[in-house]
Amino acid sequence: MPTSTYTAITGLYSTQSDYIEVDSSTGIFTIKQAGTYAVFVQVKWDTNTTNRRQIIVDTFQSQLAATAFITATLQNQQSFMIIQKAAGETIKVEVWQDSGATRVISYAYIHVARL
């Protein structure tokens, strides 16, 4: 993940296919039915001791900080949020870090479910 750049993550996905469609190459989730959705994200960063990291849920209407910044000494990061979406709207999960160098995410899991 480049430094100081919002970058979409792709990885393991778990969704309810009746309500959500995911493009695994772009990480974009398309909502099929309007409603309230839970979004859970877990990432594992590489070892590093410089600066901060964050998970963002981009709803394409606004970017929502899904987590507070964590320090670089922590490798595992999780986030959970509830959002309202209309049919046809999309979301994307992104990460951001400012270590001054490219970082690696070795594991990413995203679960989106209609409540």
pLDDT digits (tens, 9 = 90+) for 56-91: 888 887 666 666 677 767 788 888 889 999 999 999
Q: d(Cα 67, Cα 42) in Å, to the nearest integer?
A: 11
φ and ψ at residue 43, rounded to 5 degrees: -130, 150
Report d(CA 6, CA 113) in Å as an integer.
Answer: 24
Q: What is the pLDDT of residue 10?
A: 80
pLDDT of residue 63: 64
* Under 8 Å between Cβ of 37 and 113: yes
Span 1-57, pLDDT tens digits: 899 999 998 877 777 788 999 898 888 999 999 999 999 999 999 888 788 888 888
Domains of the chain: 7-114 (2.60.120.40)
The Cα 57–Cα 63 span in angstroms is 6
Whole-number pLDDT of residue 25:
86
Query: Which phi-psi region, left, alpha or beta, contains residue 13 (left: φ > 0; alpha: ψ -120 to 50)?
Result: beta
What three-state secondary structure class fits 36? strand
